[in-house]
Amino acid sequence: MFKFTVFLSGWVLMLGLWVPSAHAQNPQGLDLGEPMDVGELVLAAGKSRIVTAPVNLTQVVVGNPDVADVRMLSSRRVLLVANRSGRTNLAFRGADNQMVAMLDLVVTHDIDGIKRKLHELLPDERDLQVRSSNSMVILSGQVSDTYAMDTALAAARSFAGDNDVRNLLQVGGGQQVMLEVRIAEVKRNSLKALGISTTITGSSGSRTAEISTGLPLSVTPFVDGLFTWPDLLLRLEALETRGLAKTLAEPNIVALSGQEGSFLAGGEFPVPVLQSGGSDAITVEFKEYGVGLLFTPMVLSSSKINLRLQTEVSTIDFENATSVAGTSVPALNTRRTGTTIELADGQSFVIAGLLQENMNNVLNQVPGLGSVPILGALFRSTEFRRNETELAIVVRARLVAPSTADVRLPTDNIIAPSDIDQYLLGTLEHREISPASNTTGGLEGSFGHEL
């Protein structure tokens, strides 16, 4: 009858399978070889191995029965069954309680099974590595995108569970994203206004009558003429305006993948706010205006970037100002867009566009008389407005890395003027003779804006 004794062992789990050369191994069994031979055997949890001893065995001692179990098949053959991940050792004793062999047993998760499954799911991921450390499964190396990383984690956790998988994977490609935004807007407006007011006076004895037609223009006229006759007064008001406005903003900002970046170039203006509750107290709030950018990049792979962004261009509009507590508060003319897109490194995307045309034509006249051809112009006024707006917002994402090269700044070539420059030459900055043009490219030579 065989006797089994259990004792605890605190060995640390080691990787790989190492057995001394004296052990003769095959996929189904393990030969212990000479007496007192010591080795190590690695088994996946749920797997088994037959151990063959050179002499008859009377006792097999398992250090941690929770890790592995033994079953005697014969006096020289023992079946090892790996229960769960961990490390233990086994002592084989023969006649007269003599030590036959000591065997360290390392039970890991099914690393080979995980590798086969990952190769089946991700055949193109060549740098994906799977290792075992104690009771943990470690995934390391580099994958092409976040989808491959999520797939690898899900496959490993299906074998080892959620708590026994450690993720050391890195997504290929740069992890810092520079976002270049171009906001281009062109506004055209035109206004034509013509107004004629007529005043006719007449008298009969002590009675006097006066008839006036026409309404003043809603805009300040450029021409204001007054023509008088004994009983007739004509007032002519005319205006024609044309305007063109161009806005170009190009904010650039760099952010780490998964982190939010923000940018604001503009300012804040005060807005008086009346307090509720019947009090006349006034507080001041500040509203932002200018060019604003808020985005969160996510590098999916070396060739794909996900962007969640919001961009805004706002300008102060005094024409639509309002009054709060006797203080004139300007309005804001705002162009804002927010979206989520995917694009490759260096690609551009037009995320928003606007083509708007507004036309307003107003005719004021005396009923009947204003419809008379030619002479009816004396009894009516007209006002025509037309506004056109074209807007396009373009974004470009680039994967970037820090540079050790010196960076040229816009202030590098600004030199304070000397007394001769300012008082005699009338220049606001000192000007040096520009070097010869650089035909090989780069930033040397004349560049930038000159006012």
Name the residue type at position 50: I
Per-position b or e across 343-359, b if 16+ CB within 10 A of its CB: bebeeeeebbeeeeeee
Do the bridges between strand 136-143 and strand 165-171 make them parallel or antiparallel, or are there none, so unpaired?
Answer: parallel
Name the residue type at position 60: V
Tokens, residue 391? 């807007």
Tokens, residue 233? 């007064």
- Kindly state the average pLDDT of the residues 272-290: 79
Residue 90 CA neighbour count, 13 Å, CB half: 29
Q: Which helix (H) or strand (E) holds 149?
A: helix 146-160
The pLDDT score that the predictor gives to residue 323 is: 81
* 50 touches 29 (CB < 8 A): yes
Condensed to tens digits (0 to 9), the pLDDT of residues 391-403 reads: 888 889 988 888 7
Spell out the long-range contacts of 323-326 with Cβ–Cβ below 8 A and sequence spacing 24 or more: 324/271, 324/272, 324/273, 324/274, 325/272, 325/274, 325/282
Tokens 């030590």 locate to: 99
User: Could you give phi then psi for residue 176, rounded to 5 degrees?
Assistant: -115, 135
User: Is the predicted pLDDT of residue 135 greater than 70, yes or no?
Assistant: yes
The Cα 219–Cα 216 span in angstroms is 9
Condensed to tens digits (0 to 9), the pLDDT of residues 421-434 reads: 888 888 888 776 55
Question: Is residue 64 very low, low, confident or very high in pLDDT (cuts 50, 70, 90)?
Answer: confident
Structural domains of the chain in order of their starting residue, each with its CATH number: 38-108 (2.60.40.1080), 111-171 (3.30.70.1770), 179-183+246-400 (no CATH)
The pLDDT score that the predictor gives to residue 174 is: 63
* 57 touches 79 (CB < 8 A): no
Tokens 């979206």 locate to: 339
The pLDDT > 70 percentage for the chain reads 76
| Contacts with 407 (C-beta within 8 Å, 6 or more apart), sequence order | none
Do the bridges between strand 207-213 and strand 176-204 make them parallel or antiparallel, or are there none, so unpaired?
Answer: antiparallel
> Can you tell me whether residue 434 is helix, strand or coil?
coil
* 37 touches 52 (CB < 8 A): no
Give, in order, the Cα–Cα distances in Å from 335 to each of 140, 180, 215. 46, 17, 36
Tokens, residue 303? 């060739």
DSSP string, 285-322: EEEEEEEEEEEEEEEEETTEEEEEEEEEEEEEEEEEEE
Condensed to tens digits (0 to 9), the pLDDT of residues 99-127 reads: 888 888 888 888 888 999 999 998 888 88
DSSP string, 107-137: EE--HHHHHHHHHHH-TT-TTEEEEEETTEE
The pLDDT score that the predictor gives to residue 222 is: 52
| Contacts with 332 (C-beta within 8 Å, 6 or more apart), sequence order | 287, 289, 314, 315, 316, 317
Higher-scoring residue by pLDDT: 270, 24: 270
Give the dihedral sign, CA 274/276/278/281: negative
User: Is the predicted pLDDT of residue 350 greater than 80, yes or no?
Assistant: yes
Higher-scoring residue by pLDDT: 113, 438: 113
* 122 touches 57 (CB < 8 A): no
